Amino acid sequence: MYLLPAAGRSADSVMLLSATDWLIAAEQRDAVALEGFLVLTLERAPNAAEALLLRLGNMATGAPQTAARVAAVRLLLAAGRPERAADAAVIAAAALEPGDARGLELAEARSDALAQSGRPREALAVLVDLRSTTSDQHSRRRLAERAGLLALDLGEHDIAKQLFGELVSASSADDAASLRYATGLAAAELALGNARSAQRRYAGIVRQARRAENFDVLTAALGGEAAGSRQLGQRRRALALHAEEEALLRRRGDRRRLARSLVNQSLSAVDADNFSRADDLLEAAHAEAKAVNDGHLAADIRRRQVEVLEPVGLGQGQRAATLREEIERGLAPPPSSG
């Protein structure tokens, strides 16, 4: 990252984040670092947070450059304001000139915002519509992959299998994306109950991903193979695969995926009637979700904890009651799907 002010000078940070030209340059240089810089600024200058978010909202809807609108929408997402980001993206998209090269990016940002604000079916509809109106083959593949992943999250497993099956069939073995497509297809197969087929596919992906040092695919495939092993009753193998997946995610600092991995690990603990261990894993997952401002994931994890602990009774039942009170007080947002 570059052009950042000295540590502790929050006023300078707010000023830079409010400057359109600087925001465009910073986003193009390192979008991930820019998002981290925003989150740090909001923590250091809480009194200026609402005013800064309002400026970003205005930039997302009114900046003359599409690049600034896209960057502002993504920053609203990073700040944990997906509803604002979704609304801003709709307004920004309506003002685009025909053929604007970054219009697709803005629409994808809108889909992300809808998904994170608890409107995943709308997000899926945006992606499917985009794919049907986009002629560029690279863009169509990217949209199909994103739609497939969202369909998996929504439980639309047949749709996901169709999308990823088409991608796998159209890709070559040396295509860098082919491993991702195969991972999506394996996930759909697993969700449809074809555990043995999915496990074999995942195992092959793990071997290829290790050779290619593709850590994103490797962690996803490790988690998938662990889930398949668990469904087949191979608990020890599932635990070993999850342990490797967790270590890689921690090393890479991918906290959102780590949260989901910990949730999946809790399923094995429940299978073993180790409800205390399941609660510990879910509590750790909740902390990771909160750390990345994913309120809907955090809320879903809380509900999962209640579902796990309520039937147990005794001390765990009291813990479940405490968590339910937290949800009912409105500290957690509504579910992210359904």
pLDDT band at 332 (very low <50, low <70, confident <90, very high): very low
Place of tokens 């997402």: 77
pLDDT in tens, 84-121: 888 888 888 777 766 666 777 778 888 888 888 888 89
Residues 29 and 109 in one domain: yes
Q: How far apart are CA 317 and CA 311, in angstroms?
A: 7
Q: Is residue 2 part of a domain?
A: yes
Instruction: Tell me the CATH number at 235.
Output: 1.25.40.10
Cβ neighbours, 10 Å, residue 129: 14
Contact 225, 203 (CB under 8 A): yes
Residues 111 and 186 in one domain: no
Q: How far apart are CA 63 and CA 96, in angstroms?
A: 11
pLDDT in tens, 205-259: 999 999 989 999 999 999 999 999 999 999 899 999 999 999 999 999 999 999 9
Contact 292, 260 (CB under 8 A): no
User: Of 228, 248, 268, which one is at a domain's C-terminal end?
Assistant: 248
pLDDT band at 179 (very low <50, low <70, confident <90, very high): very high
Residues 240 and 312 in one domain: no
73 compared with 6, residue with greater pLDDT: 73
Place of tokens 């429940």: 270
pLDDT in tens, 321-330: 777 777 666 5
pLDDT of residue 98: 65
pLDDT of residue 1: 44
Q: How far apart are CA 266 and CA 278, in angstroms?
A: 4
Q: Which token pair is 44?
A: 């250091």
Q: Is residue 46 part of a domain?
A: yes
Q: Is residue 125 part of a domain?
A: no
Q: How far apart are CA 24 and CA 5, in angstroms?
A: 17
User: Of 248, 265, 289, which one is at a domain's C-terminal end?
Assistant: 248
Give φ, ψ of 291 to 5 degrees.
Answer: -65, -25
The letter for the amino acid at 285 is A
Residues 4 and 109 in one domain: yes
Based on the structure, what is the number of domains in the chain? Answer: 3
Q: How far apart are CA 158 and CA 175, in angstroms?
A: 24
User: Of 208, 226, 248, which one is at a domain's C-terminal end?
Assistant: 248
Residues 262 and 243 in one domain: no
Q: How far apart are CA 137 and CA 115, in angstroms?
A: 24
Does residue 145 sit in helix, strand or coil? helix
Residues 243 and 138 in one domain: yes
Residues 275 and 182 in one domain: no
Check whether 7 has a pLDDT greater than 80.
Answer: no
Q: How far apart are CA 185 and CA 242, in angstroms?
A: 20
Q: Is residue 128 part of a domain?
A: no
Q: Which token pair is 100?
A: 């604007």
Q: Is residue 110 part of a domain?
A: yes
Contact 134, 140 (CB under 8 A): yes
pLDDT of residue 320: 66
Cβ neighbours, 10 Å, residue 95: 14
Tell me the residue range of the domain where 9 lies: 1-94+103-117
Give φ, ψ of 95 to 5 degrees.
Answer: -95, 5
pLDDT band at 161 (very low <50, low <70, confident <90, very high): very high
Residues 111 and 182 in one domain: no
**Residue 235 CB contacts under 8 Å (≥ 6 apart), including other chains:** 229, 268, 271, 272
Q: Is residue 126 part of a domain?
A: no
Mean pLDDT, rounded, for 167-187:
88
Residues 244 and 257 in one domain: no
Q: Is residue 278 part of a domain?
A: yes
**Residue 123 CB contacts under 8 Å (≥ 6 apart), including other chains:** 111, 112, 113, 114, 115, 150
Alpha-carbon distance values, 148 to 181, 221, 296 (Å) = 9, 16, 20
**Statement: the pTM of the whole predicted model exceeds 0.75:** no
Residues 178 and 238 in one domain: yes
Q: How far apart are CA 22 and CA 37, in angstroms?
A: 13
Q: Which token pair is 189?
A: 């197969």
Half-sphere exposure of 234 (CA within 13 A, CB side): 14
Would you give the DSSP letter of residue 332?
Answer: S
Residues 10 and 110 in one domain: yes
Q: Is residue 196 part of a domain?
A: yes
Q: How far apart are CA 14 and CA 48, in angstroms?
A: 8
Residues 163 and 61 in one domain: no
